[in-house]
Structure 1
Amino acid sequence: MNQVILITKRGVITLLLALSLAACSSTPEKKEQLTEKQYYEDAQAAMANNRFLLAIEKLQSLESRYPFGRYADQAQLELVYCYYRTIDFESSAITAERFIRLHPDHPDLDYAYYMKGLASYSVDRGLVERFIPTDFSERDMGPARESFDDFNRLINRFPSSEYAEDARQRMIYLRNLLAAYELKAAKFYISRGAYIAAVKRATFIVQNYDRTPSLPEALAIMTKTYRELGLPELANTAEQTLAYNFPQYDGLNDAGKLDYSPQKRQKTTLLNVITFGLLD
């Protein structure tokens, strides 16, 4: 009887020891809590070694643990750059916009505008496009317009900024790109016989994108479409403007006239009129 009791006691002790060891092994290990300065210095070290994903992790931890700390503002700016370097352009643009909204008087606000402009245009671009050439004038121009506006805000608010000159050069490129997009649309409408839509696009280029490479072709399209629409006076005005400003334009003959005759017009249907010629 005593032997049975002894065995039972040993069993209970063994069970308690096993449960104790299991509890110890299942206790989650607490992560070391770093100081704000340590998080920031670790992020800087990661960036110096091009380990931008690790830098993002450190900066996010700094921001969440010390949102009002000494390095909080700088951490947000560093995040903008790190997101951009990891091709997460959307997060870069969003973070830059948040910084601009929260810190309207920050001494580095011009940098935030500049990075917002870079990231905005790159939002719909990916890693593949770094190696495969693409005609950007065939893309959605929403990001390009937003980028143009961001750079415009930068040079208007900070004309002497160290980023202003680069922003101006990028705006020239974006302006040419936006004009080329409108020109492609105008040519498409002409191919469909949608002359009203085509002349609207060409006129928009003349009014908004002067001094771009697309301007002479836009004037030529205006000349052609006005002739198609039976508006000779407007056609002549566009042609004269083209000949005066771009006498070397390929489509002009020696007399400074555009060699173009209106196409034979087919019977116009109601559907064709409603859709500006896109549907017959």
Structure 2
Amino acid sequence: MVLAVSVDMKKSARVVAVVLAAFAGSSLITACQNDPDIDITKLTAETDPPEVLYNQGLANLNAGKTTEAARKFEAIDRQHPFSEYARKALVMNAFVAYRNGQYQDAINASSRYLNLYPQSEDAAYAQYIQGLAYTKQIPSVTQDQKPATKAIEAMQAVIDKYPDSEYVDDAQAKIRFARDQLAGKEMQVGRYYLERKEYLAAISRFRTVVEQYPNTNQVEEALARLVEAYYAMGVTAEAQTAAAVLGHNYPDSQWYADSFKLLQSGGLEPRETGTSWIARAGKKLIGA
């Protein structure tokens, strides 16, 4: 009797095992059909040699399977940390994180790469990825512009450390964009003070734009706002100088036309005073 029960139990165990296996298989097939980012190379554990894992990561990346690509590159870093492929995988992880919009992860991976391999052939690319990740996080001028400052620092490092790299031109373009944002933030705050007739506070902001961000797209308005603020305070010499510098650099600007009209309403005209800070700053502007 005991023997019979044991046999039945063994049969039952085999049946359960078969059912579970069949269920697992059907679940796996369903998962494969529904998962948009399933590994296109294999589903087994990550135990392949580093070069195989790296090629599998590239294959997944080329197929748009970025999650699986990252898993392959991470497996190399985890299982073969001192291999040449680990170095390559780390910079690829930075790229994949950037592609996925995981900007802080991209910054972390690129920073780690630069700390480990500062003189490698991919160091310029890692630095560039870091700059791109910061650039993507730059918000509107109504918000804090810390990412813009970080983007400038990262992209300037591309230019300074890797001047012969293919990323220099775009790094310069990204710096111009970030500086425009920083200048725009100063203008936003300056306009806030100007609307409230807090002229000295407004002038301080507009002066920052003219002196620190002379080659940005905010300078024309900054000069015009200086004309407006100084004129409202009765400091006509500075108002005239700001208008003269504006007219010299941007003669066809609507901002200059408005400033000229404002001065004319008070019987004044643009006239530069050589001792003014505005005249000195004007020599650094785009059209000087």
TM-score, normalization by structure 2: 0.73
Are the counterparts in 2 of residues 199 and 225 from structure 1 also a CA contact under 8 Å? yes
1:198 and 2:202 equivalent? yes
Residue equivalent to 2:144: 140
Aligned equivalents of 1:142 and 1:100: distance in 2?
A: 22
Alignment: residue pair count: 246
Q: Deviation of residue 232 (structure 1)?
A: 3.7
Q: Which amino acid aligns with 1:238?
A: A
Q: Deviation of residue 82 (structure 1)?
A: 1.0
Q: CA RMSD in A?
A: 3.3
Aligned equivalents of 2:75 and 2:239: distance in 1?
A: 64
Q: Deviation of residue 88 (structure 1)?
A: 1.7
Aligned equivalents of 1:254 and 1:106: distance in 2?
A: 54
Q: Which of 92, 105, 118 matches 1:91? A: 105
Aligned equivalents of 1:90 and 1:213: distance in 2?
A: 29
Q: Which of 96, 101, 119 matches 2:133? A: 119
Matched position secondary structure for 1:71: helix
Q: Deviation of residue 9 (structure 1)?
A: 4.7
Q: Deviation of residue 87 (structure 1)?
A: 1.8
Are the counterparts in 2 of residues 120 and 144 from structure 1 also a CA contact under 8 Å? yes
Are the counterparts in 2 of residues 76 and 99 from structure 1 also a CA contact under 8 Å? yes
Residue equivalent to 2:168: 164
Q: Which of 108, 119, 138 matches 2:122? A: 108
Report the more deviating stretch, 242-251 or 103-112: 242-251
Residue equivalent to 2:78: 64
Residue equivalent to 1:226: 230
Q: Which of 71, 74, 82 matches 2:96? A: 82
Aligned equivalents of 1:202 and 1:255: distance in 2?
A: 15
* Stretches of structure 2 lacking an aligned partner (at least 5 in a row): 21-43, 267-288
Report the more deviating stretch, 240-249 or 51-60: 240-249
Are the counterparts in 1 of residues 134 and 151 from structure 2 also a CA contact under 8 Å? yes
Q: Which of 143, 152, 159 matches 2:156? A: 152
Q: Which of 180, 183, 208 matches 2:184? A: 180
Residue equivalent to 2:34: none
Aligned equivalents of 2:262 and 2:78: distance in 1?
A: 65
Report the more deviating stretch, 242-251 or 47-56: 242-251
Are the counterparts in 2 of residues 43 and 58 from structure 1 also a CA contact under 8 Å? yes
Q: Deviation of residue 152 (structure 1)?
A: 0.8
Q: Deviation of residue 222 (structure 1)?
A: 1.8
Matched position secondary structure for 2:148: helix
Q: Which amino acid aligns with 1:37?
A: E
TM-score, normalization by structure 1: 0.75
Residue equivalent to 2:251: 247
Matched position secondary structure for 2:141: helix
Structure with greater proportional helix content: 2
Residue equivalent to 2:2: 8
Q: Deviation of residue 168 (structure 1)?
A: 1.4
Are the counterparts in 2 of residues 90 and 123 from structure 1 also a CA contact under 8 Å? no
Aligned equivalents of 2:264 and 2:195: distance in 1?
A: 15
**Percent identity for Structure 1 against Structure 2:** 26
Aligned equivalents of 1:106 and 1:138: distance in 2?
A: 39
Structure whose alpha-carbon radius of gyration is higher: 1
